[in-house]
Structure formats: structure tokens, C-alpha cells
Amino acid sequence: MPAQTPAERALARSYTTGDGQITFDISDLSVDHHSDRSVTLTYRFTAVRQGHRDERWVFTLPWDDKSMVDVFASPAPDPDRLGQLVYLVHTLLEEWWDTKEHNRQSAKMGRQLP
């Protein structure tokens, strides 16, 4: 297995949303690089919320934005661009979380684990 890039390590870190309502406890992240230079991120995580049972999920995020290819692959990405990538991915994960029960497209991106 190849060593993780700095972007993969940064994206694999658990985090709590800005409002403190949800912690995404990341247990695994796989990053699949495709020949067309797109990337697929597959997260395994536990959603931790006060007053709720912990929920385990798998979430798949196709990433077609070629402007960040260098950040995904670089052994030393620009720190500002790396921060932007992490922010964007976290925003998309949170958007999916908020819409998965109401939007079919969102629902297809993840599934709850037993």
C-alpha cells in the first residue's frame, strides 16, 4: 500500500462541525485516483451527536474538480490550498449529512452500517 499523501492524512482526521453539533469520527478514508485525473473519496466514520445514538456510515464523494489534483498528489502541498481542500470536503460531507434523508442524489452517496 502506498504511503498516504499529506492531503490524504489531513482529510482522514476526525473533526467536529463549527457549531459543535456533530463529530465525524473518521475510522478510514480511501482515495482512489482515476485515469481521467478525478478522485473518489470513500469515508468510513461514526457520527457522534449529543442526545443521539452513535451512527456508523460509509460515504462516497466523487471529486471531479481537476484544480485540486496537485494538492491530492503532492508530497508537500501549499498549506493554503490544502486548507481549502479540507474545508471544501468537510463542507460537502456536512451538506450530505444534512440532506441525505430528503434528497435522493444525496442518499445514494452514503449508507448506514449496522
Task: Please give the residue range of the domain that contains residue 69.
Answer: 6-113
Cell, residue 105 = 442524489
In a domain, 29, yes or no: yes
pLDDT tens column, 60-113: 999 999 999 899 999 999 999 999 999 999 999 999 999 999 999 999 999 999
Longest dimension (CA), the chain: 44
Q: How many domains in the chain? A: 1
In a domain, 1, yes or no: no
CB-side neighbour CA atoms (13 Å) of 17: 17
This prediction's pTM: 0.92
Q: What is the four-CA torsion angle of 31, 6, 90, 58, rounded to 10 degrees?
A: 30
In a domain, 10, yes or no: yes
In a domain, 95, yes or no: yes
